[in-house]
Amino acid sequence: RPPPCLFAIGGMYMYVGSFVYVLQAWRLRTTLSVSPAQFVLLTLHAAWPLTLWSVALTCLLEDTPSWLLNALARVERRLPTAIHRSLFLQPESLRPVVSLLEVVHAHESKRLQSGAIGKAYRNVAADGKRVRSYQEIDRERRRTSRRGGARARP
- Pick from 53, 48, 52, 40: nearest CA to 12: 53
Cα(126)–Cα(122) distance, rounded to whole angstroms?
6
Each of the 154 residues of the chain gets a pLDDT tens digit; together they read 667 777 778 788 889 999 999 999 999 988 989 899 999 999 999 999 889 888 888 888 777 888 888 888 888 888 888 777 777 777 777 788 888 889 888 888 887 777 655 544 444 444 455 556 666 677 777 787 776 555 444 4
The whole-number pLDDT of residue 46 equals 93
